[in-house]
Every structure is written in structure tokens, then in C-alpha cells.
């Protein structure tokens, strides 16, 4: 049914990051990168969000929060882990307080590497997430239609459908835009390390 991919709303949560990735997430919304071009709204409210952007690793205290926020989001939804910390725990994974990346707590669909993750990378991550979001939404609609044919759609049926759609993975054929990255032609004098 719905063409949902034009309206991905973000929920950003700062797990245990150093701030570097957070400010880059914010920067990706500012005029230069303007993620709102893709219909992105940085909503603060899990109940209305589609894409969960988590920066930073997971520690003992924020684990519950991350889990709860994820549970509060209505299906279909996508989780994007932004930054090395969110991917693996990064530089802090060996400390006593960090459990690891976001995938220690909730299923992660897209990993955005970088320390800090660049705005471009974050946009790419979102773009991949959007695609998955659309696929999950389509699948959800299909399953509901099917379920309707088979009888009443109860809350349990819905729960089962939602569990199923969350299994869908990112289609590997969807390429994020090639990031060959041109070199800026500004005077640099080269690197001299």
C-alpha cells in the first residue's frame, strides 16, 4: 500500500557516546546536509518514530532505556547504529562499564561506521534504513491482507506479523551511493606525515 519511504522519522538516542557522533547526527540535519530533503524529521517521540538512530555503546544504565524506546516504536521500524561505539563498543568496548555495541540490546539493521561517523555516512545509513523500512512496510501490509482473508485480525496475529517483518534484512543489492569521495581542490600542501 503506502509509499512510506518518503517520510522516515528519526528517533535519536545517545547511548554512551562521546558526543562526537551525536553532534554529527545533528549536523546531518543542518543546512549543509539537510536530511529533511528525504522527508526526515527528527522527532523526539518514540511513539511516532520510524528509524531509531543510536549513537554510542551500551552501558548498564542506558540499556533499559534503549530497549524501552525500541519497544515503544510502532512497527514497521528500523534500527541504525551510528558510529563505531554503536557498532561494536569501539574504543570503549574493553572498559568495565560498556557492554558493547547496540546489537547487544536490540537488533540492529544498519551499521554506520566512523569515529565520528560523518554526516554523509549517516545520510547513507538512513537511506539504507529507509529502503528496509519500505520493504518491511510492504511486507506488513501484505501479511495483514493475507491475515484478513483468513479471518479476524487480532492483536496476537498482529504481533506475529510484526515479529516476522522485523526479520527482514537489508537487501545487499541496495548500494549506498558510491563514496569514492573526490578530493577537494583546495590548497593543502599535501600530507606530510
Interface characters, 46-85, with other proteins (x: CB under 8 A): xxx-x-----xx-x-xx-xxx-xx-xx-xxx---x---x-
| Residue whose grid cell is 501479511 | 143
Which one of ligand SF4, other proteins, none is in contact with 45 (Cβ closer than 5 to 8 A by kind)? other proteins
- Closer Cβ to ligand SF4, 27 or 147, answer by number: 27
Q: 142-181: buried (b, 16+ CB within 10 Å) or exposed (e) per residue?
A: ebeeebeeeeeeeeebeeebbeebbebeeeeeeebeeeee
121 binds other proteins, rule: CB under 8 A? yes
- The number of residues that bind other proteins (CB under 8 A) is 114
Binding site for ligand SF4 (CB under 6 A): 17-21, 55-56, 83-85, 90-91, 115-116
CA distance 41 to 8: 7
124 binds other proteins, rule: CB under 8 A? yes
115 binds other proteins, rule: CB under 8 A? yes
Which one of other proteins, ligand SF4, none is in contact with 193 (Cβ closer than 5 to 8 A by kind)? other proteins
Of residues 123, 125, 137, the one with CA closest to residue 165: 137
- The three grid cell numbers given for residue 70, joined into one nine-digit string: 525500541
Amino acid at each position: 500500500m503506502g509509499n512510506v519511504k518518503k517520510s522516515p522519522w528519526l528517533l535519536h538516542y545517545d547511548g554512551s557516546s562521546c558526543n562526537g557522533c551525536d553532534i554529527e547526527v545533528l549536523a546531518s540535519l543542518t543546512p549543509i546536509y539537510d536530511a529533511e530533503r528525504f522527508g526526515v524529521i527528527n522527532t523526539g517521540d518514540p511513539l511516532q518514530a520510524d528509524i531509531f538512530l543510536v549513537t554510542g555503546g551500551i552501558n548498564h544504565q542506558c540499556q533499559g532505556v534503549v530497549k524501552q524506546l525500541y519497544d515503544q516504536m510502532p512497527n514497521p521500524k528500523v534500527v541504525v547504529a551510528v558510529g563505531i561505539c554503536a557498532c561494536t563498543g569501539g574504543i570503549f568496548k574493553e572498559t568495565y562499564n560498556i557492554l558493547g555495541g547496540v546489537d547487544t540490546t536490540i537488533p540492529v539493521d544498519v551499521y554506520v561506521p566512523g569515529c565520528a561517523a560523518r554526516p554523509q555516512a549517516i545520510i547513507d545509513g538512513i537511506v539504507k534504513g529507509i529502503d528496509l523500512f519500505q520493504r518491511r512496510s510492504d511486507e506488513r501490509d501484505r501479511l495483514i491482507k493475507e491475515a484478513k482473508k483468513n479471518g479476524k485480525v487480532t492483536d496476537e496475529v498482529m504481533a506475529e506479523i510484526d515479529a516476522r517483518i522485523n526479520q527482514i534484512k537489508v537487501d545487499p543489492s541496495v548500494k549506498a551511493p558510491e563514496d569514492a569521495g573526490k578530493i577537494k581542490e583546495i590548497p593543502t600542501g599535501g600530507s606530510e606525515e
